[in-house]
Structures are given as C-alpha cells and as structure tokens.
Homo-oligomer: A and B are copies of this chain.
C-alpha cells in the first residue's frame, strides 16, 4: 500500500458570512473576512490517494490521469471564481477552508480509478491548512 499526493492551485475570492446572522454579528464573528465586497486567496489543494502499486506501470495511478480528474472535478469549477456567488455548494455553506475541503472530498470521492481517496488538504495561506479524511 502506497500513498500518492498531487498538489494543485486555484485562485478564488470569497466572503465569510452567515446569512442567518445580521451584518453586525457577521463582522463581529468574521472581522475583515466578512468585508462586503469579498477578498481572495491562492488556495492550495492536495489530494492523497492510496492503494497497491500496479506492476505493469510501477504506478499507484498515473499522475497525469490523477491531475486531469482533479482538474475536471474541482479546479476548473473553483479557479478564478467567486466561491459564494459562482458555486452552488456554497449557497448555504460558508466557504471556509474547512468546507472547501468537504466540497473537494465529495467532488472526488468515487472518481479515482484503482485507488482510494485518502485525504484532502486545503491551505489558504502558507501558515495554515485544513485536512479531511472523509468522516
């Protein structure tokens, strides 16, 4: 059993805002992250899959294939988007790194042939990161 990780990037804007709370409560809770016109990040997404090495190729899975699957299911949707407005999933879910990790897990869960999705890691800066293992 080996674990293979592919790291990719996307750039998006978001606003942390809970629609069940009023403006003042949101500012108190999220401070400048609740600024009305949003802000943005270069997000880093790391996808880890696990499984057996295929003796024919020496690969767990071809990285080019894994990259393409992540591209189609996550990056092309989120890159250069406004998460709150452009992505349905975040209509009723606050687009924190924690929830973006859940989004990526759901988007990739049954999409990796011959390997099992093991971990999603989302970082919105060089000094913080969220990891999610599916439950």
Interface residues of A (CB under 8 A from B): 1-9, 11-14, 16, 18, 20-21, 29-33, 35, 37-42, 53, 56-60, 63-64, 79-82, 85-86, 93-96, 98-99, 101-102, 124-133, 135
Determine which of B11, B58, B130, B131 lies in contact with A39 in the assembled complex, contact meaning CB atoms within 8 Å: B11
A16 to B29 CA separation, bound complex (whole angstroms): 30
Q: Is the CB of B63 within 8 A of A6?
A: no
CB <8 Å contact, A37 and B85:
yes
* Min distance, Cβ A39 to any Cβ of chain B, angstroms: 4
A40-B58 contact in complex given A53-B99, A80-B33, A129-B5, C-beta closer than 8 Å? no
Q: Binding site of A, secondary structure by majority: helix, strand, loop or mixed? A: mixed
Copies of the polypeptide in the assembly:
6
- Asked if B80 and A35 make an inter-chain contact with CB atoms under 8 angstroms apart, the answer reads yes
Residues of B with C-beta under 8 A to A11 = 39-41, 124-125
How many Å lie between the Cα of A4 and that of B129 in the bound state? 6
Contacts of A13 in B (CB 8 A): 13, 37-40, 82
Contacts of A96 in B (CB 8 A): 53, 57-59
Q: Tell me which residues across on chain B come within 8 A of A63, comparing CB atoms.
A: 128
CA A12 to CA B13, docked complex, whole Å: 8
Task: Select A12's contact among B40, B59, B132, beta carbons within 8 Å.
Answer: B40
